[in-house]
Amino acid sequence: MKKLSVFLFLLCIVAIGAIKKQSSHQDKVSSLLLYNIEALAAGETMRPVRCLGRGSIDCPASHDKVDYVAEGYSLEKWR
């Protein structure tokens, strides 16, 4: 039984170590690299920002004041 406890303890230590290593590796990825990856991934399937109506929300694309801002060509997801 003592062997089982030691085995479980070591298993947990190894698991924690593996997760920490993975998260520290993620921290090393620069935000510039992420922006570049996002830009490449966006590519031809980039979804434009659409600003609709008249309101007080500052449209990030046109800088007009609009009712709401939507992503993509369709408003289907809102309905």
Partner 1 sequence: MLPKDTALKSGVSFLFLCLLFLFSCNNSHKEYGKNVFSYSGFLQEKELRGEVIELDTALFRYPFRIRIEGDKAVVMDLHGSEHYGHLFQYPSFRYLSSFGRRGDSPTEMLSMENFRFHNHKVWTLDANKSELTRLDFSSSGDSLLREETVTLDEDILRPLDFAIYNDTTFVIPDYSGESRFLKVNCKGKLIEKIGAIPTANEKALQQARPALAQAWRSFLDYNPHNGVLAAVTQLGEVVEVYNLKDSTHVVRIGEHDEPEFKVSDGYGIPTGIMGFSDVQVTDSAIYAVFHGTSFKEIARQSGKLPDGGKYIYVFSLKGEPLYKYVLDHYIYGIWVDEATKTIMATDVNSDQPILKFCFGSV
Q: Which residues of the chain form contacts with partner 1 (CB under 8 A)?
A: 1, 4-5, 8-9, 11-12, 15-16, 19, 23, 31, 34, 42, 46-49, 52-58, 60-61, 63, 65, 67-71, 75, 78-79
- Min dist CB 78 to partner 1, Å, is 4
In the complex with partner 1, the residue whose CB is nearer, 44 or 48, is: 48
- Min dist CB 72 to partner 1, Å, is 8
- Min dist CB 50 to partner 1, Å, is 10
Residues in the chain: 79
Q: How far is CA 38 from the centre of its chain?
A: 10
Question: Cα(78)–Cα(71) distance, rounded to whole angstroms?
Answer: 10
Cβ neighbours, 10 Å, residue 66 = 19
Per-residue tokens: 72: 């993509």
